[in-house]
Amino acid sequence: MNLLSDDALLWSWIALAVLVFPVLFLVSAPYGRHLRTGWGPTLRSDLGWIIQESPSFLIMAVYLTRWLRQRTDKLLKLGFDEREWMTVTLAFCWLVHYANRAFVFPLRMRGGSKPTTFTVVSTAILFCVINTYLNAKALFVYELVIRSRRSLDWAFCSGLLLWVCGLIGNWHSDAITRALRRNPEEIKEKRYAIPYGGLYRYVSAPNYFSEFVEWTGFAIAAQTWAAFSFALWTFSNLYPRARSNHQWYLENFAEYKSLNRNAFFPNP
Ligand code: NDP
């Protein structure tokens, strides 16, 4: 594909993120606590996560490896310049996030035998493929960081710092919910409990909020429209679901209201 068709894909992708946002307030994706019948065949959710998220890891890894191979001679003689380091660092951030999401997170799930729907898995695959394709091309084919930046700058450093904070918040929040199912009986029954601690003090879905912080940081660091489209999609996907999760806690735990949590944005 050339720049023109990639541009058309990117702007349609951004438009779709805006269109999907109101729809997700009406229809929650049928997995996890919002799993329900009527959405077609199902498969184990841990397997579903691996299948749907691994394209994000693999596509970025392929583009990075190809790019590094093309530069082997230069690298051996001169090493990376600052903008090449920035490009590789962004790809590294991507790979760290998706190594966790595609492989570590599903293998550590407590209740991974719970079904998810093929509908969710196939739409997530489509999302991962398009999103990673756009971001990998921006970094390694159009080399937007190398061409448009002069050197390491404040946008890159502050964005990277925000990305790290988001990653820590996301991993920590996922660890808190994972620890809620402590014994084989709770795991077998996929029992739910109220999570406490960390950012759960302030919001019902700190994993989602932190994930949004992560990709906002990435977008600030990368300064590409592809990266901004990912931050937008993350918000579009996760804000409505955070609201649904918040409502679900209110309906399922009588004491939840007294905890005074927001759904998505912390208000300490
Ligand atoms: P959830 O927090 O709904 O679930 C994560 C895991 O924790 C599941 O195994 C779930 O079990 C379990 N869990 C959640 N709440 C409780 C509870 N109260 N008691 C016991 N167990 C609980 O997150 P998602 O599955 O929606 O998302 C997982 C990760 O993927 C998150 O970090 C999220 O940020 C990320 N994500 C990113 C998206 C993006 O667009 N960038 C889109 C979707 C997710 P069960 O499966 O039984 O509910």
Quote the CA–CA distance of 208 and 103 in Å, as a whole number: 19
Q: Do 262 and 160 fall into the same domain?
A: yes
Among 136, 151, 166, residue at a domain's last position? 151
What pLDDT shows up at residue 75? 82
Q: Do 141 and 174 fall into the same domain?
A: no
Residues paired with 116 in a beta bridge: 43
Do the domain assignments include residue 107? yes
Q: Do 140 and 158 fall into the same domain?
A: no
Q: Where are the alpha helices (DSSP H) in the chain?
A: 3-26, 45-70, 72-78, 82-99, 105-108, 118-140, 144-148, 154-178, 184-188, 206-222, 225-252
DSSP string, 75-99: HHHH---HHHHHHHHHHHHHHHHHH
The low-confidence residues of the chain, meaning pLDDT below 70, are: 1, 268
Among 135, 151, 167, residue at a domain's last position? 151
Q: Which residue has 């390694």 as its token pair?
A: 140
Q: Do 108 and 177 fall into the same domain?
A: no
Quote the CA–CA distance of 160 and 140 in Å, as a whole number: 19
Q: Do 166 and 266 fall into the same domain?
A: yes
CB 231 within 8 A of CB 209: no
Among 151, 174, 202, residue at a domain's last position? 151
Do the domain assignments include residue 129? yes
Domain that holds residue 215: 153-268
Q: Do 137 and 214 fall into the same domain?
A: no
CA 144 – ligand 1 centroid, Å: 33
Q: Do 51 and 181 fall into the same domain?
A: no
Residue closest by Cα to atom 32 of ligand 1: 207
Query: Which atom of ligand 1 is the closest one to the Cα of 192?
Result: 19
Q: Do 201 and 249 fall into the same domain?
A: yes
What pLDDT shows up at residue 267? 83
What pLDDT shows up at residue 31? 96
Q: Do 6 and 127 fall into the same domain?
A: yes
Residues for the chain: how many in total? 268
Q: Do 7 and 138 fall into the same domain?
A: yes
Ligand 1, pocket residues at CB < 6 Å? 32-33, 45, 109, 111, 114, 170, 174, 177-178, 180-181, 190, 192-193, 195, 207-208, 211, 234, 237-238
Do the domain assignments include residue 18? no
Q: Over the stretch 197-254, which tens digit does the pLDDT of each residue have?
A: 999 999 999 999 999 999 999 999 999 999 999 999 999 999 999 999 999 999 999 9
Q: Do 208 and 249 fall into the same domain?
A: yes
Q: Do 176 and 55 fall into the same domain?
A: no
What pLDDT shows up at residue 1? 57
The number of domains in the chain is 2
Probe ligand 1: pick from 207, 210, 250, max atoms within 8 Å of CB?
A: 207
Report which of 205, 57, 62 is spatially closest to residue 131, judged by C-alpha positions.
Answer: 57
Query: Which atom of ligand 1 is the closest one to the Cα of 194?
Result: 18
Which value does ipTM take for this structure? 0.98
What pLDDT shows up at residue 79? 85
